[in-house]
Amino acid sequence: MRVLIIAHAHPDFSKGGGELAAYQMFQALQQRGDDAWFLAAHREQSLSHGGTPFSVLREREILWFAPMTDHFLIAPSNRQTVWKDFRELLERLQPEVIHFHHYMNIGIQAIQQAVQYRKTVGKSVRVILTLHEYLVICANDGQMILRQTKELCTEANPPRCAYCFRDIGKQPEDFFLRNRLFRACLTGVDAFVAPSHFLKKAYVRWGLAEEQIAVIENGQPPVGKLLPRGLRDDEVRGEFAYFGQINQFKGLDILLSALDFLPKASRKKIRVQVFGTGLENQPEAFQQTIAQLRERLGRYVVFHGSYRTEQLPGLLSTVDTVVVPSIWWENSPLVIQEAFKYGRPVICSDVGGMREKVRDGVDGLHFSCRSPASLAEAMVKASEPNTWDHLHRNTPVPVTVVACLEQHDPLYFGKTNDLQKRPAELSPWAVLANVLN
């Protein structure tokens, strides 16, 4: 069976979890003997030819030059590449399954083109979309937090969205049109995949049919769990770590501030290691906050800079617990899966996808989102060796890529959904209410 996997970026050039998951599926399909192709978008002019948006990276891996200009309507700057070039590609490749892992860069209209292609070709072609984020629901980079205050947003409707975007003059009608356009573009998709129940719930609230969304966690290449870090007699489990891009939504400032809230007894026994870069791209104010915390905390904070995925086992062996202090909902953070597969418990904010993926008191601990004091409490608990052992023993083995692929088979082989039915409009506005479980 010929499967075309489409991603908004290629892991060779971009480090996000979404493109990595897409690529791993492509590789797993190849390994089990399926006729798989990978189409990845990119924005590097230098990698593209003139006269065509396509170029080749390796056999069966096609790159698509797709600079996107309209982020609000997720529209490509050049529509012709969607209805002409992409369509021609489909007609040449003749895939039986077209699996989108994203619509950023290529434009959400590409999904409709796949649906139209299915109509003209007459035989069974399945169009699948894996949802890795909330862009369709929230124009604020898909984060579902308010632009000015950065608070968590619990309800999306055009008047509220317009109010959130009042600084750039958006009106409720703009969001009305945006929602309708997206609903139209997603009509005809056979099945949606959500890596977390939280994300599925958000999309059901937005208007996708419950039955059409399957919750399938992203697979991970299988590895062995690491041994715990060796401790001296009087030592506690005091090595905590932050992995990943440093940006203002991932809460590094909360983690560093938490060290100020530690009780005296714990203060000299707990340290935070930071793996990752990106601070220099953040707003001035955030950079200053981190710099000040760094200076005050002295040797209790270590910034290691960037790391490669291959280095993870080595780095995690020097660490007891991974902290994911994001201030937004998240979906299924890759760092949680990576921590678990190597046997490291996770402390995370008690909201959204994080809360779902980490079981409080079982394989990790929750803390009250954005509260350094609450995080400090959790860190003290996790530093207690017996508690830590319990959490460590319960860290789950993440689903393998092969198992993840097998969960997709019913979607790949199922019957084509020929409904022209568009995602419902629940009330005049779609409501994203009460998603806090």
Partner 1 sequence: MIDANNAISATRVHAHNRALSKCRAVIDDIFPVGETGFFVVGGIAGIGQYTREIWLGSDTEHCDILQQASRYPRPDTIAETGSHSDYRISDSGFMAFIPDGMLRLREERLAVVCDGEVLYHLEVRKMPICGMPPLETAKRLLRHVPLHGGRMRELFERQIAPAITTLDFPNSATIKPTIREYGVMPKQPIASVVVPLYGRLDLMEHQLSEFRLDAPFCAEVELIYVLDDPKLQDSFTSFCHAVAPLYGVPFRTLTYGINLGYAGANNIGARVARSEYLVLLNSDILPDQPGWVQTLKAIYQQLPDCGALGVRLLFPDGSIQHDGMRFERFPFLDHLWINAHPGKGLPASEASLPTTTTLVPAVTAACLWVSREDFFKTAGGFDEGYLIGDFEDSDLCLKLLVKGRRNYLTQEVVLYHLERQSQSLSSETRLLREQITAYNCWRHTQRWDAMLSRLCEED
**Binding footprint of partner 1 on the chain (CB under 8 A):** 78-80, 82-84, 109, 112-113, 116, 158-159, 169, 171-173, 176-177, 180-181, 184-185, 187, 420, 422, 427-429
Which helix (H) or strand (E) segment is 178 a member of? helix 172-186
Q: What is the rounded distance in angstroms from the CA atom of residue 23 to the CA atom of residue 201?
A: 26
Residue 82 or 262 having the CB closest to partner 1: 82
Q: State the minimum distance, in angstroms, from the CB of residue 374 to partner 1.
A: 39
Tokens of 166: 């009042």
Q: Between the CA of residue 182 and those of 23, 99, 109, what are the distances in Å?
A: 25, 18, 9
Q: What is the rounded distance in angstroms from the CA atom of residue 275 to the CA atom of residue 286?
A: 18
Q: How far apart are the first and last CA of the chain?
A: 39
Inter-residue contact 118 to 127 (CB < 8 Å): yes
Long-range contacts of 423-427 (CB under 8 A, 24+ apart): 423/183, 423/186, 423/187, 423/206, 423/207, 423/208, 423/209, 424/207, 424/209, 425/183, 425/207, 426/205, 426/207
Q: What is the rounded distance in angstroms from the CA atom of residue 200 to the CA atom of residue 196?
A: 6
Q: State the minimum distance, in angstroms, from the CB of residue 265 to partner 1.
A: 57
Q: Within 13 Å, how many C-alpha atoms sit on residue 330's CB side? A: 25
Q: What is the rounded distance in angstroms from the CA atom of residue 152 to the CA atom of residue 434?
A: 12
Q: State the minimum distance, in angstroms, from the CB of residue 157 to partner 1.
A: 9
Q: State the minimum distance, in angstroms, from the CB of residue 411 to partner 1.
A: 23
Cβ neighbours around 217 below 10 Å, total? 18
Inter-residue contact 247 to 386 (CB < 8 Å): no
Inter-residue contact 164 to 138 (CB < 8 Å): no
Residue 116 or 368 having the CB closest to partner 1: 116
Q: What is the rounded distance in angstroms from the CA atom of residue 316 to the CA atom of residue 240?
A: 10
Distance of CA 130 to the CA centre of its chain: 11
CA dihedral (73, 74, 76, 82) positive or negative: negative
Amino acid at site 222: P
Kindly state the DSSP code that residue 129 receives in the 8-state scheme. Answer: E
Inter-residue contact 192 to 170 (CB < 8 Å): no
